[in-house]
Amino acid sequence: MPTDLTIVIVSYNSLTDLQRCLPSIIRQSVSFTYQLIVVDNHGRDGVAPFIEQHVPAITFIANPANSGYAGGNNLGLQHSTGKWVLFLNPDTELHTGALQQLMQTAQAHPQAFINPKLINPDLTTINACGNQMQYTGITTCRGINELSSAYTGLTTVALLSGAALLAPTGLMRDLGGFDESYFMYFEDADLSLRARLRGYTLLCNQDAVITHYYRLGMNPVKFYYLERNRLLTLRKVLNQRTWRQLLPALILTELLTWGFSLRGITYLKSRFQTYAWLWQHRRAIRLQNEVIQQTRQLTDTQLMMGSTVAIPFEQLVPNPVGGLIKAILSPLYRALKPRQIITN
């Protein structure tokens, strides 16, 4: 039966998070109908019996394999009956009125893709108000660790965070959903850029508040997927001319990421695996690029407008060292930036 909204949550051994997230959804007072789907990505923590006992109205889908964030959400999208779909991480908790605020924004902007304001568990600082991208593809959370009170109202953003992403269901399906080759990390950036290239708007309603119980960190597996998917995304969405003009800056970023990988042999293996995967899939990536170039409605200049020059090294390396590296390298990135890329 058709509904106004479908909420899709992908679980992978996320029972503890779901025990906090699901009640925060059920407590919401809303003026619309919604469907709630939990996709279990082949976890082994007893999510199915918990849902059957405590929240049987939920549509539960047992994925026979772990197909990652992208695959799990696409499976939920297939079963969506809502006019809009909210992809929600299990490690979130909705504040009072968050769902109503998001849907009011969606109804006022029916072709927009929307984020709420994601805050840290301290309830006073930002986790993300949308995301932003340095022009060589490194993405960061917009407003991270700044005061939550400084971010209010509705604003346009360059990229969306996948932790809580509201989209028109028809447009999501038209875009092909999330790219399942990503498995995890950067799917939200890829989707954001593809949506913008098709002329859709990305918004953040900073009055709709959700707590995100996320701890920033890095490990070799995450490093592999972040770097592989960063280069995959740029190769997919940019035209050949822009790609060639970006090469000097991209080489600089590659040197920096190689330097970061010197922290251990597993990180070094991740770098080699990144290049090996991209080479093995080069023909498929080229075909994706050709399709995107045929359907795009924005130029690369418009797409990259507002991207940042500086890489936030202070998020990776503790200050004052991180801040010093950023101060040294920012002028170099500014000098290497192609003229048509308008940055902040």
* pLDDT tens-place string over residues 258-317: 988 988 999 999 999 999 999 999 999 999 999 999 999 999 999 988 898 888 776 666
pLDDT, tens digit, for every residue of 317-333?
667 766 777 788 888 99
Q: Which residues contact 280 (CB under 8 A, 6 or more apart)?
A: none
Per CATH, domain 3-212 is 3.30.70.1070: no
Delimit the domains of the chain by residue range. 3-212, 234-336
Whether residue 343 is predicted with pLDDT greater than 70 in this model: the reply is no
Could you tell me the two tokens for 254?
């590659």
Strands 126-128 and 112-119: antiparallel
Per-residue model confidence (pLDDT) at position 342:
67
Average pLDDT over residues 116-131: 96
Amino acid at 26: I
Q: At what angle do helices 265-280 and 282-295 cross, to 10 degrees?
A: 60
Sequential DSSP letters for 300-330: HHHHHTTBBSS--GGGTS-TTHHHHHHHHHH
**SS3 state of residue 35:** strand
**Which residue in 106, 95, 59 sits closest to 79, CA to CA?**
59
> Binning pLDDT at 50, 70 and 90, where does residue 236 land?
very high
Average pLDDT of the residues in 56-61? 88
The band of 215, judged by pLDDT with boundaries at 50, 70 and 90, is: confident
Mean pLDDT, all residues of the chain: 92
* pLDDT for res 152: 96
- Tell me: pLDDT of 232 over 90: yes
Instruction: Using DSSP, state whether 52 is helix, strand or coil.
Output: helix
Q: What is the mean pLDDT of residues 2-28?
A: 94
pLDDT above 80 (res 43):
no
Report whether 47 contacts 14 (CB < 8 A). yes
pLDDT at 283: 96
State the pLDDT at residue 320.
Answer: 74
